[in-house]
Amino acid sequence: MKFNVLTIFPNFFDSFKNEALIARGIKKKLLKIETHNLRDWTADNHKTVDGRPYGGGAGMVMMVDPIFKAVKSIKKSKKSRIVLLSAKGKVFNQKKAQELSKYDQLTFICGRYEGVDERVARNIADEELSIGEYVLFGGEVATMVVMEAVSRLIPGVVAKEESIEKESFSNGSNREHPQYTRPDVYIMKGKKLMVPKVLLSGDHKKIVEWREKNSK
């Protein structure tokens, strides 16, 4: 899977690319992340990527031209998709992550300021996505959320694929059972906090029944 990220803050993604499972996926050549600075596709000395909104209003709007030129410069694969991260986009979920994981290449357009020229959504992007009903400074963090969710579904990125298959959102449910790990008894402020005995019993059938009963 190749990810292209169009942004005015490419350094945001340095740590993301170099830590944990994302870095492992890149090292194993299962993932590839390329950031593209939109200022590289501007025509003036100030590298302007935004302008005042027609009709008036607060803030600035990202211009269509740098985005169009940046997208045009990227070599497309047969199965590619362009995603604009936008507050007015469709809310991202696990089902959408699974859909996007079937592509070979995803290009993300990170909005900033008060938004992006509407011509980008209508003529360049294949779809608009939001990660929730709240406002961020820009699309960079949202892009990382989408990339991480998609990356986990690429075979080989997560060592135990069984753990992905059994996850609540992957099997069509949003229910999850309580999880515990060592120690089995933890004393907090003089009170013993204990792991349910059934989880220590080794009885697989009873453990499954307990987890189903206690899923929320």
In the annotated binding site, the residues are: 111, 131-136
Could you give the CA distance from residue 93 to residue 149 in angstroms, rounded to a whole number? 9
End-to-end CA distance of the chain: 33
C-alpha to C-alpha distance for 125 and 58, rounded to whole angstroms: 25
Q: Please give the helix or strand (H or E) that residue 105 lies within, else none.
A: strand 105-110
Binding-site residues for S-adenosyl-L-methionine sit at 111, 131-136
Asked if omega into 183 is within 30° of 0 (cis), the reply is yes
Exposed, middle or buried, 169 (CB in 10 Å: 0-12/13-18/19+)?
middle
